[in-house]
């Protein structure tokens, strides 16, 4: 049987009007890239994401961070616990509400973030430079905000 022809639309660039085919192609690309990032990371990706999030937002509770990343608070708490054990973040109780714990970067976390990020993304930065033209990089840069909009969407 010629199975290839039946699903060819997921292989090449799908027509823009066909959201279903585009969604499938996107899933494929996104999961392949996730594995590449994970395989090349020096710090577990969730830790790197959380570190960057705290750096951008400033001190926040674990629950706030979890909501921002669309994860369960317990899942984020584990990541934050690992960062705390590594000395990259610290938790201090909110004086106004003893139930809350504000997570903030330590001096070490702040100092290390750029280097962690550079190391974790080095392979991608290299691939972007060597495998894509400047025009293609610009095309991709324009598409990234669209990807983030999809990821952050309500549905």
Partner DNA sequence: TATTGTTATACTCTATAACTATA
Partner DNA sequence: TATAGTTATAGAGTATAACAATA
Which residue in 6, 16, 58, 99 binds DNA (CB under 7 A)?
99
Shortest Å, Cβ 103 to its own copies: 13
Does residue 138 belong to the site contacting its own copies (CB under 8 A)?
yes
Interface residues for its own copies in 3-62 (CB under 8 A)? 3-4, 6-8, 10-17, 19-20, 22-37, 39, 45, 48-49, 52, 54-58
Q: How far apart are CA 152 and CA 3, in angstroms?
A: 35
Q: How far apart are CA 94 and CA 147, in angstroms?
A: 35
Which uninterrupted H or E stretch holds 91? strand 89-94
Does residue 153 belong to the site contacting DNA (CB under 7 A)?
no
DSSP 3-state of 131: helix
Q: Which partner in its own copies, DNA, none is near 123 (CB below 5 to 8 A by kind)? A: its own copies
Which residue in 53, 55, 68, 91 binds DNA (CB under 7 A)?
91
Q: How far apart are CA 154 and CA 21, in angstroms?
A: 21
Shortest Å, Cβ 89 to its own copies: 12
Q: How far apart are CA 138 and CA 37, in angstroms?
A: 21
Backbone phi, psi, residue 154, to 5°: -65, -40
Does residue 140 belong to the site contacting its own copies (CB under 8 A)?
yes
Tokens of 3: 């199975």
Shortest Å, Cβ 67 to its own copies: 13
* Cα end-to-end span (Å), the chain: 38
Interface residues for its own copies in 96-135 (CB under 8 A)? 105, 110, 113, 117-118, 120-132, 134
60 forms bridges with which residues in the sheet?
103
Which chain residues interact with DNA by CB under 7 A?
A: 31, 35, 38-39, 44-47, 61-63, 70-75, 77-79, 91, 97-101
């Amino acid at each position: 049987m010629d199975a290839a022809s039946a699903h060819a639309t997921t292989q090449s660039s799908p027509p823009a009007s066909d959201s279903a085919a585009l969604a499938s192609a996107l899933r494929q690309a996104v999961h392949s890239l996730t594995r590449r990032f994970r395989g090349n990371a020096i710090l577990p990706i969730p830790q790197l994401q959380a570190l960057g999030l705290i750096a951008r937002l400033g001190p926040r509770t674990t629950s706030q961070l979890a909501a921002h990343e669309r994860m369960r608070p317990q899942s984020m708490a584990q990541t934050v616990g690992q960062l705390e054990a590594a000395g990259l973040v610290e938790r201090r109780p909110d004086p106004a509400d003893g139930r809350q714990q504000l997570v903030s970067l330590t001096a070490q976390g702040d100092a290390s973030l750029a280097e962690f990020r550079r190391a974790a993304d080095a392979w991608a930065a290299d691939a972007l430079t060597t495998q894509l033209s400047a025009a293609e990089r610009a095309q991709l840069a324009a598409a990234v905000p669209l990807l983030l909009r999809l990821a952050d969407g309500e549905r």
